[in-house]
Structure 1
């Protein structure tokens, strides 16, 4: 059987609304903005994946999974060679039973969930529906999701078309190794601290400190996955004077230590 790939499979996902469509993809590609009437569970086996919605970009590290609710317009980019993206597109008939199914979320994957998702590879590019002897397995998998993780990881950066805000974001990215405080950044752009703080809240719905912390963590995740630099060097390059402080903040964002992500 010749694999047709995720982009070509997009029209097939919704063909049978009461089924689970299974898709295991091993490639590096961009899946442009699209939507489907099914909820999407995807496990990132290695490397990184990026999910972009209208106003946010989310980063999904290796050995994490994400849920995309039905009807959400999104772009998906699998950005590192040899990453495997294992996806299950679930019927949405009972999605109102739990708030988990109605929002986008990123979560660390347990060994149990990894094994269950890997098991579904035998049904790659197939619809598994009511009456199929394997359907109950997939129903159980979907039903367990709300109980696996109670908190979605905040691995996200907001987006904006605001010209001044974009300049400020670019400045922060290019000076990420430095001590970034609102007084210095506002002074650089000839603004008051209060004005800059209000700009972050109005355009990004996030505070200056929250944005800087998220930017540091996402940059660190990319460096851990894409380079062989020592963890200590990465900590300093993203603006942390202490490896311990960097590791603690990283754990709060990803539920794993930087060294754990490197091993994965």
Structure 2
């Protein structure tokens, strides 16, 4: 049985020893971990639910069978779908061998080898010191192999707009996610030209309207698929897709697995 988070361990313990690798596997037992940061880089993998991770610039969605890498110094809060989520964390100091892979916050799929490595670390909790040569070498190797095992990052994040009109537009898209809203209609509703709106999305969010809208719909679909009461077809309709094959193909392109496979495996993957 996993222990629960106690005394907000991440504030007091993770950075207490500069060169240690800190390992923590625990049942969250809470609805949120408030904003904080570490001097160490964080590997986060969860089981038993999905997690939103928020920074000052983006909202990230961490689904089943994926992990998120959080570089040192990034302020973030963690919002799980349930207090029963198990969080598996490893916090690493900066090594001279670190590449630019470790400078970016990203979400990556977890393959079978990485699952085995994660579960191997389940025997550890707390600091692993350099003097503990065997344990430290294994834990350090865990970090060093991440770039090799994480070649395909997933675009499971949405940036926050700063422009007031774009904030209203994004809120409208979220509130009307079941409608298939086209770009021309959206521009007309908010009384801006299509050209201006296209520039706003690119400048503010660094992506096109289609990219943003598609990711928003797929992230919403991921959440809905966790509800056993909804069929895949119902989920497709709720995110504005009248064609099930189109929804399935788009989901596969963004998430990396078809919705039918996600539903079939979700109990074993989360």
Question: Shorter-chain-normalised TM-score: which range?
Answer: over 0.9
| 1:41–1:87 CA contact under 8 A, matched in 2 | yes
Aligned residues: 262
Q: 1:246 to 1:222 in 2, by over 3 A?
A: same
Query: What is the aligned partner in structure 1 of residue 10 from structure 2?
Result: 9
1:55 aligned onto 2:57: yes
Query: What is the aligned partner in structure 1 of residue 39 from structure 2?
Result: 37
Query: What is the aligned partner in structure 2 of residue 254 from structure 1?
Result: 255
After the TM superposition, which residues 103-142 of structure 1 pair with which residues of structure 2 at under 5 Å, given as runs? 103-124=104-125, 126-132=126-132, 133-142=134-143
1:29 positional shift = 2.7
Please give the alpha-carbon distance, in whole angstroms, between the structure 1 residues aligned to 2:211 and 2:185.
16
Please give the alpha-carbon distance, in whole angstroms, between the structure 1 residues aligned to 2:249 and 2:131.
48
RMSD (Å), alpha carbons: 1.9
Please give the alpha-carbon distance, in whole angstroms, between the structure 1 residues aligned to 2:143 and 2:5.
25
Query: What is the aligned partner in structure 2 of residue 87 from structure 1?
Result: 89
| 1:6–1:25 CA contact under 8 A, matched in 2 | no
Please give the alpha-carbon distance, in whole angstroms, between the structure 2 residues aligned to 1:83 and 1:100.
27
* TM-score, length basis structure 2: 0.90
Please give the alpha-carbon distance, in whole angstroms, between the structure 2 residues aligned to 1:241 and 1:136.
52
Query: What is the aligned partner in structure 1 of residue 233 from structure 2?
Result: 232
* TM-score, length basis structure 1: 0.92
Report the 3-state secondary structure (helix = DSSP H, G, I; strand = E; otherwise coil) of the residue aligned with 1:134.
helix
1:81 positional shift = 4.1
Please give the alpha-carbon distance, in whole angstroms, between the structure 2 residues aligned to 1:156 and 1:189.
25
Please give the alpha-carbon distance, in whole angstroms, between the structure 1 residues aligned to 2:68 and 2:213.
23
Q: 1:183 to 1:143 in 2, by over 3 A?
A: same
Please give the alpha-carbon distance, in whole angstroms, between the structure 2 residues aligned to 1:66 and 1:46.
16
More divergent stretch after superposition (216-225 vs 162-171): 162-171
Q: 1:136 to 1:171 in 2, by over 3 A?
A: same
Deviations 1:154-176 (A, max 9, x none): 01111124322121111111222
List structure 1 runs of 4+ shifted beyond 4 angstroms: 1-4
| 1:45–1:83 CA contact under 8 A, matched in 2 | yes
After the TM superposition, which residues 194-213 of structure 1 pair with which residues of structure 2 at under 5 Å, given as runs? 194-213=195-214
